[in-house]
Amino acid sequence: MTSLSLQTIHEVQTTLYQEALHLDAQRWDEWLGLFTQDAVFWLPAWTDEHRLSTSPERELSLIYCAARAGLEDRVWRVRSGLSVASKPLPRTSHAVTNCVVTPDPDDSERVMVDSSWTCHVYELKQRTQHVFFGTYQHHLECRQGLWRITHKKVILMNDQIPTMLDFYCI
C-alpha cells in the first residue's frame, strides 16, 4: 500500500474543514468550487434499522446529485428565495473529526477519506435547535495542485428529521 505524506494528509483534511466552514458562512460559490464538475453527492436513506440503500438509481435517497450541476441547482434555489423552507436559512455549525485518509491504490492523485461529523442547526423561525450527525465518505482528487471532491456520501445516523433537510445542514 502506498503511504501518504503528512503534507498530503494535512491538505486533504484542510479541504474538508474548508467545506464545513463555507457551508456555515453560506459562501456557496467557494463551497461549490471544492467539487469537480462530475462530483457525486449522495445521502442514502435507511431501508431498515441497520441497512442503507445501496444504489441511488434503484433505491430511495434523501438527496442525490449525479453531478455538481445538481448542487448548483440547490444553491440557486436557496439564493433565489424559491425554497420557502429555507427562508430564513438556519444558522449552522459543522464539526468534522476523525478524518482517516487512505490512498487510492490505483491512482496517486486520488484519496478516500472517512470522517465523523455533526451539524448544530438553529432554526430562526421556530427558535429551535437540533443536531444532525453521522459519517462522511469523501473521494478527492488532486487537480492542478488543489484537492477537489469527486464523490461525497453522507450517512445520517439520526434520520428522524425534525425539520427540513438540505445540503447546508448535513
Please report which confidence band the pLDDT of residue 159 belongs to, taking 50, 70 and 90 as the band edges.
Answer: confident
Strand partners, 153: 42, 137
What does pTM read for this prediction?
A: 0.94
Asked if the model's pLDDT at residue 116 lies above 60, the reply is: yes
Residue appearing with cell numbers 460559490: 29
Measured in residues, the chain has a length of 170
pLDDT of residue 121: 95
Mean pLDDT of 30-37: 98
By the 8 A CB rule, do 149 and 139 touch? yes
pLDDT of residue 135: 98
All domains in the chain, ordered by first residue: 6-169 (3.10.450.50)
Asked if the model's pLDDT at residue 83 lies above 60, the reply is: yes
Nearest to 94 by CA among 66, 134, 126: 134
* HEC assignment per residue over the chain: CCCCCHHHHHHHHHHHHHHHHHHHCCCHHHHHHCEEEEEEEEEECECCCCCECCCCCCCCEEEEECCHHHHHHHHHHHHHCCCHHHCCCCEEEEEEEEEEEEEECCEEEEEEEEEEEEEEEEECCCCEEEEEEEEEEEEEEEECCEEEEEEEEEEECCCCCCCCCCHHHC
Cis bond before residue 88 (omega within 30° of 0): yes
Reading the block at residue 137, the C-alpha cell is 465518505
Mean pLDDT of 118-147: 95
